[in-house]
Amino acid sequence: MIKKQNTYDAIVVGSGITGGWAAKELCEKGLKTLVLERGRNVNHVIDYQTTNMAPWDFIHRGRETQDDIENQPIQSTTYAFNEGTKQFFVNDKENPYSTPKDKPFRWIRGYQVGGRSLIWGRQSYRLGVIDFEANAREGIEIDWPIRYKDIAPWYDYVESFAGISGQAEGLPQLPDGVFQPPMEMYCVEKKVKDAIEKNWSDRMLTIGRTANLTRPLHGRGACQYRDLCNRGCPYGAYFSSNSSTLPAANATGNLTLRPNSIAVTLIFDEKTGKASGIRILDSETSETIEYFAKVIFLCASTLGTTWLLLHSKSQYFPDGFGNSSGVLGHYLMDHHFQVYSIAEFDDLDDNYYYGSRPNGIYVPRFRNIKEKHPDFLRGYGMQGGGYRVGWGYGNDQTGFGASFKNSLMSPGPWRMNLHAFGECLPYYDNKVELNPNVTDKWGLPTLTIICEFKENEYAMRKDMAQTTYEMLESAGGKNVETHYGPDIPGFGIHEMGTARMGKDPKTSVLNKYNQMHDAVNVFVTDGSCMTSSACQNPSLTYMALTTRAANYAVDQLKKGNL
């Protein structure tokens, strides 16, 4: 009776960006779908408790406290963490992991309904033809099993629903998409754009392509330019599972959402050679429950999904579920960044701006497009933007009297920064392993993460420093400074790989439809599926791959192949 009650057409593990899309597609195609989320429930609008708080409403004026640093030492290092957003990040003490002392990794996580879709940076770029061909062209590891033309219609599909604002530019390395009207650039950004495009024929600057609405869409309101996105947007102006895909799934009447459900193992049926379900641990009651379905989508985030597969050992899969290739857990990638330049501009003081635009600019990749760079493979893009220095710039000024007070009432100088984000090559020894000696709050084994950037990335970083500097200087920037931040993998929050797609079951975990070679009714569509990383923010690609896989799965189910 329990098995019958706990049986669905489909199970989705994870409710973040990919889990939300899988739920939407499967439910809209008529499948009774169970979504398992290991974290707490977060209701859209209702549970965005800090979204309308002013700075003076926060006890600590928005800053993290010593208690935060003690309980969330990893999470509190990321840009999006503060007193108004910390509830959307995990407690690191309850969710530990291990790394070698000389190879740190910063694993930024959000365990709740919506996952990191509530706190992501929303930059949304397509991969291009060059990205899907790169491994094959250069003889690096294995070839992607798909090409740009295979995924292009699905990019169109997700952009139309999610709402991506941006400017079409006609670049092959950064394909245009289905865009809402672009946000406007600030005067200093336009100045830098003009200088870049005047001095280099192969470089350009455009407004960021972001999942923030500039026009209402599907009942969601347009962006209010508050730049409080990471507290949760009550207008639904930025794309998240909570504001978009989960409500669409729920509207079908086919969705069952179960929070506080830690997926522990996949259940394998040796008679059919398929997965029959998921065994979960209720995080509140510690009860173990089994759920069953014909189709299973793993969307628990790159390392979350790989942990589940590695933990699902059996006589049939002694090295982890679906790991006959032996590559599960390997080829972990992240974008390397923290190389940036900043400049001041003193000829724009009579210009200002209104509101707080939740977006920046983008400089598309220009290295290794037409000419081969002598020092490294692949390339990098740049993000950043202009801003007027606020009241705090007077902190280091001295003076007294009325004239000094009046000077502090004036806005500070314009500044502009360019941050480079570079591609990381896939390396076998960048990997994750189960660690039974370190357990989490629920007594489950954790991950040991072994990952580092290597020679190609370090050669690229030297070029990043040079080009960010020279582009700001070319625009007349003053006091140009170049900074090297810590080159720690994970800090880009674009972790991917570890269950890659490929053509050969001997060297990959998934086929061209994100379907497991070893269990055809299991699909993996989060970042773990990536065969190479490109240099663009990857979330839009995860969404497109998920919708493509979900529609394929439904088609195969109807044909009786699953």
DSSP-derived 3-state class of residue 70:
helix
- Cβ-in-10-Å burial (0-12, 13-18, 19+) of 371 comes to exposed
Task: With CA atoms as reference, report the closest residue to 70 among 94, 49, 103, 46.
Answer: 94
- Here the CATH number for the domain that contains residue 192 is 3.50.50.60
- Decide if 188 contacts 194 (C-beta within 8 A): no
| 284 domain residue, yes or no | yes
At 392 the pLDDT is 61
CA distance between the termini of the chain: 24
At 387 the pLDDT is 92
| 89 domain residue, yes or no | no
| 503 domain residue, yes or no | yes
At 207 the pLDDT is 98
Lookup result for tokens 């009650």: 5
DSSP-derived 3-state class of residue 117:
helix
At 391 the pLDDT is 57
DSSP-derived 3-state class of residue 4:
helix
At 220 the pLDDT is 97
| 119 domain residue, yes or no | yes
| 54 domain residue, yes or no | no
User: Residue type for 325, please?
Assistant: S
What six digits make up the tokens of 422? 């570079």
| 433 domain residue, yes or no | yes
User: Residue type for 276, please?
Assistant: S
- Decide if 44 contacts 243 (C-beta within 8 A): yes
Per-10-residue mean pLDDT, the chain, length 562: 81 98 98 98 95 89 84 94 95 97 97 97 98 98 98 98 98 98 97 98 98 97 95 96 98 98 97 96 97 98 98 95 98 97 90 86 97 97 92 66 75 91 98 98 98 98 98 97 92 97 98 98 98 98 98 97 93
| 290 domain residue, yes or no | yes
What six digits make up the tokens of 530? 């990536």
- Decide if 116 contacts 96 (C-beta within 8 A): no
At 256 the pLDDT is 98
| 157 domain residue, yes or no | yes
For 239, the domain range is: 2-44+95-558
DSSP-derived 3-state class of residue 495:
coil
Domain count, the chain: 1
- Decide if 111 contacts 39 (C-beta within 8 A): yes
